[in-house]
Structure 1
């Protein structure tokens, strides 16, 4: 069943690029005790993700913080090197660029889709959510290929 409002996030390991290199972190460590704006994209450096989705959250970081958000997390089924480079290229210092390299988190939430026909393999559907201490309190899940409800402005309106 697809993740829903009221569900606890699955506690799997994710990865993030740090100053010392790729670092594993559990979902519980990343989301525990905090209010987090999480948004997922089908792929780093892809057109909509780079032109609209990530920039919207970077531009609205202060507004989200003003609404009580402790962290902003961008997640993609990519490796931590790609996520780190993509964040640097887009000056996303206010956003934690998190990799789900084997899609374990994405599959556990049942939000994956197969983009093998486009040469991309298993990817995450686009979504945004508010996570309060590991529990989903808002969820904006796009249909595959869409970008209608998962933008930063929509999430801001829900806080």
Structure 2
């Protein structure tokens, strides 16, 4: 009988440790599941970004006539642009708006503001933004890019 008492005493702690082990596993699993759900909610794609309008597809390229723009200090800029239309444009866009925007943007600028590649790219990005905005009708982009085919400062 003494032997049986010893067996029951050893079995009791074993049951208790199994319960602890099961509780620990349950807590760890709950933490992993909760952390996974929290991580998903935190890092899931933004629904506003997911609903972003698709990029327009390129259509025809409209080549505009070269223009000469007066810069500051008696210098001139000879500029020739091409506009990348989208397939949403029903007809070839009139370039007069784009040329007017370019004249407004570059008139009376200093030569030094346009000589470096970095400055030219920065001004081109500004020009593109203004032209795309001017040629957007009811959230439909008619122009998607602007190309400089001639950019000469004298």
Answer whether TM exceeds 0.5 for this pair. no
Return the structure number with greater helix share: 2
TM-score range, shorter chain: under 0.3
Tell me the TM-score normalized by structure 1.
Answer: 0.21
Return the structure number with greater strand share: 1
Tell me the TM-score normalized by structure 2.
Answer: 0.22
